[in-house]
Structure 1
């Protein structure tokens, strides 16, 4: 599967800062220390509706992570999946009378268009669950063969009790885990399971549903969590730098994925940091497909909204915060974009070296994008009221917000 085209990232004078970021597993900030090649895995969409602003906010956060690393002169190895076969996708296709593969391809194509418009840096590897099946099957077989998985009516489950570190990613108690597991695709009430929290590794073929040859597992399709594990291990290996996604993925998805990987490899940890973005709400409730309270990037673009303004609206909120999308949020972003473009359109301006360093400092401090925006706002305000004589300043500010914030002026 292919991703989307990469926008050019301008080179800036000097060098960026190492990233200090909030790690869900430790509950506090850690300073990331990647090698020359920083490794990041971000969980992708299930393509039956794309791309709402909750998606966009999440991918914007991890786009900033990449940009901070690139500014430190590191290379970035970024991997993202597409869950192109799963119950929600099949249910939507059946509801709408569509072929599930056509639905997945259409929504994935729309997602690519939105990511391109928002100038999100693409992954080097963009992998669908279906194409990952040849790598998933051996992992499930290894888990079964080492006693960490068991069969139940033809389905294969992972035993969470096989991993002593289970629970360390989310830090949740058993009762909360069970509640969230039921809400987020799990089946804690299924009779015969060894532990209510045991997740599905391989779903045996059901009549009328797609299935693939699973070798000794029989025909079927993979569970959600093992999909990302297989892709991450194949392209990044154990101990990669950041596992990212929305805060609703901390449990069960990232908890289960880490447990699968640690059990099958005998190594720890799966990722050095687990980083989670907050949720975006509309009309007082978290945007969700089940509630239908979604604002789509493609719809905003069709209405003539500049994608750069959409990106600025996302950047105005700290990535870990939960926040609400309103008309006022977008209006503020449109006005900010106009001020910034006016400021950099002049032939000279106030010195900008300090602005670049302020943006770098803000982003290195747990991706504090709002503080970075405020630094540019201050420079633009001085430009508007007093101007300046530095001929290179407007160009430097323009390159800095492009390189570090993904905002093209």
Structure 2
């Protein structure tokens, strides 16, 4: 039995292969093909989507770990390496990933395949940082693709923008090369703000290199968390940034956090004052919620209106959102199936506690945000089908053409993938 991190997705594959190297991946793919089985790649199971579900073969890539090489401006890692392990290896060389997602335990390949992002109007997702990949296609052949290759054309076998956010439909990734940036000390702060101020175009979400806003929909209270380069060389927070993140605090500003902490559905402060450290230490959520989530990518200009509409819709239907809604921004992406493809994006995430019946809430969230131009994050819950994909992604035909070449027999199929992309 395979179960994702919080228990909301599960399946019983007939077989699970855990390759330790690329040759093991090739062997798993060829064995499945010979036996007429389909297979799905899995990593750390932090996604809440149904992409990994199958009753046939799992290829668990979580043991395919380690750093292959670090150059002056790139890092090459094996697919099963976690984001956190890559960040730690880079930190020792004075480098960093530009993108800092919430989940350092996610595998690099899984995070890229689903379009996992951080929070920064000018900083693309992990997918956008990819400069090259190695992968095993549906025939068991090892292939590589790089951003230095000629632009994709109808006669070509692959394109990097197809592999960026590939949903596990084009092959099993074995290595990924990503751009890096110089490591720097940042200082992070949080402050109580009004939702309209926080979400407005040109406001705090766009002004800081890293920023996120937690919004309590019923009251329109919001908590802005942001980080930027530290001025000079400030001293780290007492106990170090990790300990600072884990401390329970009872005030923010003077009175705001005391008011909010009385209701667990309202934004809760993470830091007291200003904390200093590296971005990958400070920005991930130190206490991730065990529960389901749905996240949608909207045109940046629709973000404030979408949050207002979501609040009105949930209130009208008496549906409680027990956690603050998390809002982030990001730039347009080039990945053909990335939710931020072709447009500056505002991200809205709604979480549900483990044990809650989240289906009615998530259906409403999807209905409201889809109606405002939203596209679902592939790691979260969503109801989309191939018909929705055709309307939302102008590059879908190109992606499907690459899929036909790389996996003509649909070895990497599965019920969820078939619903999204067709047979």
TM range (shorter): under 0.3
**Structure that is richer in helix per residue:** 1
After TM superposition, the score normalised by the length of structure 2 is 0.26
After TM superposition, the score normalised by the length of structure 1 is 0.26
